[in-house]
Amino acid sequence: MQQMQITFLGTGTSHGIPVIGCACQVCKSADPRDKRLRTSIHVQTPGFSFIVDTTPDFRTQCLREEISRVDAVLYTHAHVDHILGFDDLRRFCELENKNMPILASAPTLESLARVFQYAFDGSARFSNYIRPEPRVVDAPFSLGGLDIVPVELPHGRMTTNGFVFEKNGRRLFAYYTDCAEVPPAAEEAARGVEVLVIDALRHHSHQTHFTVQGALDAASRIGARQTYFIHMCHELGHAETEASLPPDVRLAYDGLRLHL
């Protein structure tokens, strides 16, 4: 392993792909890259393993990727397609008899504590159950040998956290899911990053997510060496969409691994 390995656990929007009851070309596609679970990543550094967001598909994603160790979880925001796999973290607490650091903004932690009250109120502190250890993310921090810079991203009526991962001053990876724009501070934090991962829901406009063109424009301003799109809906077929993109912009797909 190099300094970090990123595995895309899911790359789809909140419906997942295929969409229930849909017979469109993408939902019926035989291309495995068009099968998209809800958006999340697994990050590994030497001796450390963490997740960004626990989707409703989290258990399936862990089984598919044979993930047997999670040392911490970062949350971007508290929409259901990013948090509802939270309870499946209990297995990782059980395997090593440990607490689970949960890192997020104060509003996101408040939402998690409300939705999963049984886990946060101390009433379920059993050796085989989820034992969250909440940590507020409001400034740069270190995790697994990486320096992580949180940034605020507009997402409709709420603000999500994007994360820029650095090592020895080298900007390795920026993860900007669920956003409709990249404000100047977030743009500067990711400037010249090696890999940018960014929301690109569909071609036509949406109030809370980037379009493909909006994501392309943001990527151009940031100047990443390589950009990957995530959080895509069933209007974007993988092969067709990727053929229309410049060489330094690709569509991520479930199971894709990057080594940095």
| CA distance readout (Å), 67 to 60, 64, 91 | 10, 8, 11
Distance separating alpha carbons of residues 87 and 125, to the nearest angstrom: 13
Q: Which ranges constitute the DSSP H helices of the chain?
A: 58-65, 80-83, 90-96, 106-115, 117-120, 184-189, 212-222, 238-243
Tell me the CATH class for 5-259. Answer: alpha beta
Using a cut of 0.85, tell me whether the model's pTM lies above it.
Answer: yes
**Per-residue model confidence as pLDDT tens digits over 149-175:** 999 999 998 999 999 999 999 999 999
- Report the alpha-carbon distance of residue 197 to residue 76 in Å, rounded: 13
Buried b (16+ CB within 10 A) or exposed e, 102-137: bbbbeebbebbeeebeebbeeeeeeeebbbbebeeb
pLDDT category at 129 given cuts 50, 70, 90 is confident
Taking only the tens place, the pLDDT of each residue in 39-95 is 999 999 999 999 999 999 999 999 999 999 999 999 999 999 999 999 999 999 999
Q: Is the pLDDT of residue 1 over 60?
A: no
DSSP letter at 15 equals T
Average pLDDT over residues 116-129: 78
Beta bridge partners of 6: 43, 258
Q: Give how far the C-alpha of residue 187 lies from the chain's centroid of Cα atoms, to the nearest Å.
A: 18
With left for phi above 0 and alpha for psi between -120 and 50, is residue 178 left, alpha or beta? left
Alpha-carbon span 106 to 126, nearest angstrom: 25
What are the residue ranges spanned by the domains of the chain?
Answer: 5-259
SS3 content of the chain, % helix, strand, coil (to 5): 25, 30, 45
Q: Which two structure tokens, joined as six digits, stand for 108? A: 């996101």
Cα–Cα distance, 224 to 222 (Å, whole number): 6
For the stretch 217-242, pLDDT in tens is 999 999 999 999 999 999 999 999 99
Structural tokens at position 175: 């993860």
